[in-house]
Structure 1
Amino acid sequence: MKYKKLIEQMTLEEKASLMSGKDFWQTQDIERLGINSMFLADGPHGIRKQAVAADKLGLNEGIPATCYPTAATVANSWNAELGEKVGEYLGEEAIAQKVNVLLGPGVNMKRNPLCGRNFEYFSEDPYLAGKMAAAYIRGIQSHGVSACVKHFAANNQEERRMSIDAIVDERTLREIYLTAFEIAVKEGKTKAIMTSYNKLNGTYTNENMHLMRDILRGEWNYNGVVVTDWGGSNDRIAGLLAGNELEMPTTAGETDEEIVQAIKSGGLKEEVLDECVNRLLDLIFTTEEAYKKPNMEFNIERHHRVSQKVAEESIVLLKNDGNILPLPFGKKVAVIGDFAKDARYQGAGSSIVNPTILDHTLDCFEESGILSIGFESGFERYGKRNKDKIEKACTLARKADVVLLYIGLDEVTEADGLDRHSMKIPDNQIELLDALYEVNQNIVAILSCGSAVEMPWINKVKGLVHGYLGGQAGARAILRVLSGDVNPSGKLAETYPLRYEDTPSYHNFPGEEVSVEYRESIFIGYRYYDTSNIDVLFPFGYGLSYTSFEYSDIDVSKTGVTFKLTNAGTVAGMEVAQLYVGCKSKDIFRPKKELKGFTKVFINAGETKKITIPFDDKTFRYFNVKTNQWEIEEAEYEIMIGASSVDIRLEDTIFVEGTGAPPPYDKNKLPTYYSGRANNVSVEEFENLLGYKVPVSKWDRSIPLGYNDTIEQCQYAKGSTARLAYHLIVFAHWFLRKIGKRSTANLIMMSIYHMPFRGIARMTGGVVNMPMLDGILMIVNGHFFKGLYHVLKERSKKNKGIKEKKQMGT
């Protein structure tokens, strides 16, 4: 062990104390041994270090920091070098704010378009997500601070996220849901990983020995720190045994005492604790080195310009009928839509950044060269109908050559802790579009949201520019694309289905009570749509440009593929060339094609470049559940170079020698998976894939509620007090939405309604401990007076203990 001598100087109690937070954002320190606290801060796309009540959990406004485009946005750049640049600037700001660990990036898969946190994740594809994440991590950690890749693993819904059990077959887990983490560990060399709240195949992820020990520590040789998501610790000893060093936030010493008692009773070996302490010390000492450098301030203007550059390269041009874009000089433009006045530029929840500067569209027109004849909001931001606003917008539109219509999703629709209820944008925005179409058909829609939406209205716009959530400089970046100062080069990192019902997980999302079944297996996103020949609105990897590119002269070797790429248009531009691989053998079910490489290239008009995309260890592999390891199937493989997953420009084949592994499946038992149409798999076939019976997915309403049951389940409680509390929470949520306090209403759902009872103890910083929680559960289960007495008795005992400790300290 690296810090063996230092650890030998610690008492058992001191070692245990390091395993949980000092408060909500800092780790414990041991002053006598020179061990300082670390500060951990939210920050996937900007630092959120609370300006006030920094020792309290909450969503207080952060110290100003650059708000970069979200991960969902930057993924559309398909530019790992750009991702690394974002990471470098995030790391620089982390040092300026004395943050040791930056809680990001998030690499969970976009299994379903309704997941409320999709704006914070890169892609539906693990290879693209992993490569972008590794780039971010390298950038952040180049300054000496630590990234913390999250949420490990299979956290693909927000509702009931602290208690839901994700049922995933082993091959799907490895190929789809762990590959991005594997790349983040092996290529990004992340120093920290955050576990997810959910269970995985019956066990909480931070206690899951297969996930944490077999795969993370064993196969990937990860030697960094594992931290829980806030309040995500269930059984502290089980977590420690699995190698989960740090529990956040503080439990005011309660779980520290559990560790001490477990070692004294023989339930936990002290060597296991020492191993965890050693890894945590390494993170503390290596990250605090970053603060010994001089001049730790950052240049606000320069970081803002970088944010703009990132946004520009991530904007996706989805439609451009009649080359309505770029806007010709002198065209009179009507600017309509509430998002033009107040930019929608980031998500909501734990990742909210307080921007150093914030560009708004209306303030940027003069420098853009676009001639605006006026602005009308056109609609109420949060969905309320307003005919007067529509009429004013139409009056302005009649006078314009082109209408720039800013539409999208509002801040409280896409949020940490909540899933969306539909893929639609609000009806009042569509009513506005319908009315505008009647008076002026030259409409360019500018879409602002962090996830896929349905677009039944798309035939009523000639141009469609998707800015996603472009950060604090996103508004100016969009105008530069509209004017032609920037040639758009973004391509979608997720598929846009025609309708939500077409999505492969439609029948199995979200998990409604105990569990969520990943019955679609490996067929998520384009893997499903392309294999099953399902029409989509926009395919994975799609994006238009103001120029055109031609592909030619493919040459495939054992080490990779080369080809020529020509800019056949009249303006310089950047093209994302994508490598897809498909196996011709039918012995193992597979998607028709899978992304296995990509590159982004700048090419001047008329220029040709020779491009090489190398093969790597992931190009031909699949996970064999019989051998329990990665194998290569001996077969002919199609090598495809495309401008999107469906726009394949060049094809060739290569024969690859296999590893000789036995076929892992009985075809006759998995007909749906072999057909690829895995959007509605029977429970029997899913069980054949899993190799065991699917656990019961419904709550057992006959048994008393316990630690891991949720506040939502109080509707079934035996105690009338608990049922009343449930109805009051539901009413408060309804009332707050009714009066327009939607953010507060969302907070109730996120932090109360779906919270398991153990969260009351884990998230209150020791105000409520587990013995007091036992009393609360007595009340919930119908023993009001007995439970109340128990709560008061344990509260008195806790306060007495605190008083005695203070007296001993003096």
Structure 2
Amino acid sequence: MKGHTLAVLAFISHALASGNTSFVGILGHNGAAYERASKFVAKLNTTQKVSIVTGGGATVVGETFLGMDFNDGSMGLLEYYYVSAFSQSSALSMTWDKDAVTAQARAVAREFYQKGVQVVCGPTSQPLGRTAWGGRAGETFGPDPFLYGIVTAETVKAHAKEGVVSQAKHETNRTNNNIAGYDSMSESEKRNFLGPYSANTDDKTLHELYLWPFYDAVKSGLGSVMCAMNKVNGTNSCENYSLLMRHLKGDAQHAGLASAAGGFGYGSSTYWSETAITAMLKDESLSMQRLNDMVIRKPATVWGTDYVDPRANHTKLIREIGSKSIVLLKNERSALPLQRPRLMGVFGSNAGAAMAGPYHAYDPITGPGPTYDGHLATGTGSGQASFPLLVTPLTALAFRALREGTMLCWILNDTYTSSETSALGAGTGVVPGHVKYAQDSDVCLVFLNALAGEGADRTVLYNADQNQMVKTVADNCNNTIVVINTMGPRLNVTAVLYSSLLGQESGNSILDVSYGEVNLSARLTYTIARMICDTKECDFTEGVYFDYRYFDAYNVTPRYESGYGLSYTNLTYADLDVSSIEALSVYFRKEVCRLISGLMGRYRERHRQRHEHRWQGEIPQLYLSYSESAKQPVCQLRGFERVELARREKSTVTFPIRRRDAVKGGEYIFSAGASLRDLRLSRTVSIRTE
């Protein structure tokens, strides 16, 4: 749902009558902004207050608040000219690189600031990705709440540094779309619309999965929250006293606003009219203290930010982050990197441009797969960026081929058929065909995509036409490389290069890793199953057991595990050290334990190749296995860092463990390695609780 569409459902209930909580800070605990806003609101009359809580502004002597402009999203401004199209969040998280997350978030925020938009409708903290069938997984950071929380926090801090407010969405338990037709409803139908489903979860699941990234965001200075469009435990999220007042405003101490589909802070002027507000004040169903609290949150959110120099080379940044986001899943016989092929065959509509562009009004479900007939580099709905241009893989490959003398042939259609009566070299009357082109090529690149987005969920997890194209090419070309751009997990294909949507420089990013100009370091943020039946269906009774937790709990072997990714080089791990640990505080607000894990690696070339890499990016990961009394999954991610090593260089990595990471006292196993199923070092430690 587009962020600049304000509330439809009003949160006018006993939640509104509650008083203001103690202010603990907003946007980095900026008490000065809150104090300024409080003095400003004290001068307003009821009409002016209603104007602010319904999206407008107000002016008093010596001070003006112009209101707030909201827009999507984390991949760049939606529906604007002369802006950049960045990587999707699902691609960005595959870098496992906090610096890359920060760099993109700051670049996005600079462009928002320059265009006069104060609020980024993002990061998208829900859907969490509990099912591969969800349509909006591409907008998110993946299904692991620890990874999700870290990158969400980095995004929020980066936005604030550029003078822009983050609006984390969708709070909470958002998992599916299933609201097709909502936009076509009449105003009366929308008023009576009570949401598509109720996400019923126990308290453990709610806190350890769904609220986890919001907690990290609030602690990093989150300014705004967008409510989810579903119910939680039978009550609409945006009318849910427990979610908004107890957990978000109370436990997490969120001092900002909540908006979209209601919430404490923003509402529709259709419902929150001056007449209605005045009547509630008169009958005391709404206190003046509560109204003032709602109003103060708007200017305090905006005035709690600062502006810095916005200039940056965003094109270069987008290309670099795109390259860091591509996961190498398979590389038999050192097929990659490419080394000056004589003749290259390029296959699939995802290799080239759509019929018209770069803008396109994406339908959330397009084609039989659904797939997109062109190169897929941005999402749909709230996940769609505004392209200034689009570098497709074929464009990037053509410039490289021109430089190296490679001959290119291509078929930009997944279902192309021909008589194929002529072979290459038979004259100018060559009939294009998958078989002949594949037989004549030194290397064949097959490009696939999978499109999903806001408005509907996925209908299949693989595409028969694309699978047949891969089989036909691979049967006739012994050096076939498959490149996949997908909005979510993709099953039953032999993948080599795998990523989400990489933005306007997508083709150049793919070129850089294909030719070894950039060494691969990306890792999966979710599990890819071997069979569709291994993918968990939409049943919330699974609790905390989805994605790798589900695979571990039920001893299911995945095709590729969470955290997996190959490289052109190899590293060794040694010397895991766990320092002494004090007894854990029983109070979870005491965030950090005195626990550090150390990890050392050495970089060496896996095989000789034309490019001798100056550095290797590696993602050491820390997983924690709990005592049986903790009643936790087999193991959970509790630390990660991206490190760059020069040839034969060593590096030490430290992982701080927070209070809520450890849950309770008992015996713990700390394991470190390259992925969930490639844990190379472990130590057992006993931890007691005070």
| 1:77 maps to amino acid | T
Query: Paired residue for 1:360, among 392, 395, 420?
Result: 392
Which deviations, in whole Å up to 9, do the C-alpha atoms of 1:212-258 show, x marking residues without a partner? Answer: 12221222222111112xxx23xxxxx4xxxx1013xx545665543
Cα 1:374/1:256, change in 2 over 3 Å: farther
Q: Which residue in the other structure is 1:263 paired with? A: 281
Q: 1:595, 1:71 → 2: CA distance?
A: 19
Could you tell which deviates more after superposition, 32-41 or 544-553?
32-41
Q: Is 1:431 aligned with 2:442?
A: no
Structure 1 counterpart of 2:146, from 127, 148, 153: 127
2:265 equivalent in structure 1: 245
Read off the aligned partner of 1:573 and give its amino acid letter: Q
C-alpha distance in structure 2 between counterparts of 1:560 and 1:446, whole Å: 39
- For residue 484 of structure 1, what is the amino acid of its counterpart? G
Superposed displacement of residue 9, structure 1: 2.9
Q: Where does residue 374 of structure 1 map in the other structure? A: 408
| Residue of structure 2 equivalent to 1:116 | 135
Describe the SS at the equivalent of 1:387: coil
* CA separation of 1:373 and 1:220: change in aligned 2, threshold 3 A: same
- The alignment-based identity, stated in percent, is 24
Superposed counterparts of 1:102-181, under 5 Å: 102-108=120-126, 109-160=128-179, 162-181=195-214
Deviates most, 158-167 or 148-157: 158-167
CA–CA distance in structure 2, aligned partners of residues 135 and 8 of structure 1? 34
- 1:8 is matched with which residue? 42
Map of 2:368 onto structure 1: none
1:396 Cα offset (Å): 1.6
**Residue matched to 1:447:** 484
Structure 1: 5+ residue runs without aligned partners?
22-26, 49-60, 234-238, 510-516, 622-631, 660-810
CA distance in 2 between counterparts of 1:252 and 1:531 reads 49
Aligned counterpart, 2:643: 601
Query: Structure 2: which amino acid aligns with 1:602?
Result: E
1:167 and 1:201 in contact (8 A); partners too: yes
Measured against aligned partners, the alpha-carbon deviations of 1:383-431 in whole angstroms (never above 9, x if no partner) come to: xx4423996232222211110111121xxx411121101211x221112
Asked if 1:419 corresponds to 2:457, the answer is yes
Query: What's the offset of the Cα at 1:280?
Result: 1.4
* Structure-1 residue corresponding to 2:51: 17
Q: Residue in 2 aligned with 1:562?
A: 598
Offset, 1:365:
2.3
Q: Secondary structure at the match of 2:605?
A: coil
State the 1:604 CA deviation.
1.6
1:398 to 414, 436, 439: 439
Q: Shift of the alpha carbon at 1:373?
A: 2.5
Equivalent pair of 2:344/2:409 in contact (CA under 8 Å): no
- Return closer, same or farther for 1:431/1:255 CA change in 2, 3 Å cut-off: farther
Equivalent residue, structure 1, for 2:618 = 575
Whichever residue aligns with residue 568 of structure 1, its letter is R
1:286 Cα deviation (Å)? 3.9
Match of 1:701 in 2: none
Please say if 1:34 is aligned against 2:72: no
Residue 591 of structure 1 aligns to a residue whose secondary structure is coil
Matched, 1:550 2:572: yes
> AA paired with 2:119?
V
TM-score of the aligned structures, taking structure 1 as reference length? 0.69
RMSD of equivalent CA atoms: 2.1
Matches of 2:566 and 2:604, distance apart in 1: 14
Distance in 2 of aligned mates of 1:180 and 1:5: 32
Q: Distance in 2 between matches of 1:368 and 1:543?
A: 26
**Whole-angstrom distance in 1 between the partners of 2:278 and 2:89:** 41
* Structure 2 unmatched runs, 5+: 1-33, 181-194, 354-374, 421-431, 582-594, 607-612
Please state how far the C-alpha of 1:211 moved relative to its aligned partner: 1.4
C-alpha distance in 1 between matches for 2:98 and 2:339: 33
Correspondence for 2:554? 532
Shift, 1:563, TM fit: 2.3
SS in 1 for 2:461: coil
Q: Which residue is 1:476 aligned to?
A: 508
Deviation string 1:276-327 (CA, Å, 9 cap, x unpaired) is 111112124445x64xx7x86x55xx11110111111111001101111111
Correspondence for 2:102: 84
CA 1:389–1:31 in structure 2 vs 1: closer, same or farther (change >3 Å)? farther
Aligned partner of residue 497 in structure 1, secondary structure: coil
Task: For 1:20, give the aligned amino acid.
Answer: T
> Aligned partners of 2:265, 2:240: CA distance in 1, in Å?
14
The residue aligned with 1:200 is 232
Separation (CA, whole Å) in 1 of partners of 2:465 and 2:60: 59
AA paired with 1:644?
A: S
1:642 corresponding residue in structure 2? 673
Query: Counterpart of 1:764?
Result: none
The corresponding residue for 1:44 is 74
The 1-side partners of 2:272 and 2:292 are apart by: 19
Change (3 A) 1:658 1:251: same
The AA in structure 2 aligned to 1:393 is: H
Q: How far apart, CA to CA, are the structure 1 residues paired with 2:71 and 2:528?
A: 33
Name the SS of the counterpart of 2:632 in structure 1: coil
CA contact (8 A) 2:52 2:295 kept: yes
Asked if 2 retains the 8 angstrom alpha-carbon contact of 1:577 and 1:643, the reply is yes
3-state DSSP of counterpart to 2:510? helix
SS of alignment partner, residue 556 of structure 2: coil
Task: Classify the secondary structure of the residue corresponding to 2:541.
Answer: coil
Matched position secondary structure for 1:274: helix
SS of the aligned residue for 1:606 comes to coil
The Cα of 1:118 is off from its aligned counterpart by: 0.3
Q: 1:262: how far off?
A: 1.7
TM-score norm. by structure 2 comes to 0.81
Cα distance in 2 between the residues matched to 1:596 and 1:535:
22
Map Cα deviations across residues 708-727 of structure 1 (whole Å, 9 max, x no partner): xxxxxxxxxxxxxxxxxxxx
Change (3 A) 1:76 1:502: same
Query: Cα deviations across residues 692-734 of structure 1 (Å, max 9, x unaligned)?
Result: xxxxxxxxxxxxxxxxxxxxxxxxxxxxxxxxxxxxxxxxxxx
- The 5-angstrom pairing of residues 603-682 of structure 1 reads 603-621=645-663, 632=664, 634-659=665-690
Query: How many residue pairs end up in the alignment?
Result: 585
Distance change in 2, residues 1:62/1:254 (3 Å) = same
- 1:803 is aligned to none
Counterpart residue number, 2:530:
498
Q: Which one scores higher on RCO, CA 8 angstroms, separation ≥ 6?
A: 2
Q: Measured at CA, do residues 257 and 70 of structure 1 come closer, stay the same or move farther in structure 2, by a change above 3 Å?
A: farther
Residue in structure 1 matched with residue 116 of structure 2 by the alignment: 98
- Which one is further off, 585-594 or 132-141? 585-594
SS of the residue corresponding to residue 530 of structure 1 reads helix
1:150 Cα offset (Å): 1.0
1:345-373 residue CA offsets vs partner (Å, 9 max, x unmatched) = 01111232222232122222255466643
Higher helix share: 1
Matches within 5 A, 1:687-702: none
Give the residue type in structure 1 aligned to 2:485: S
Could you say what secondary structure the match of 2:629 adopts?
coil
Distance 1:215 1:129 in 2: 19
8 A contact 2:145–2:212 mirrored in 1: yes
Amino acid paired to 1:446: V
Quote how far apart the aligned CAs of 1:181 are.
1.0
Aligned to 1:184: 217
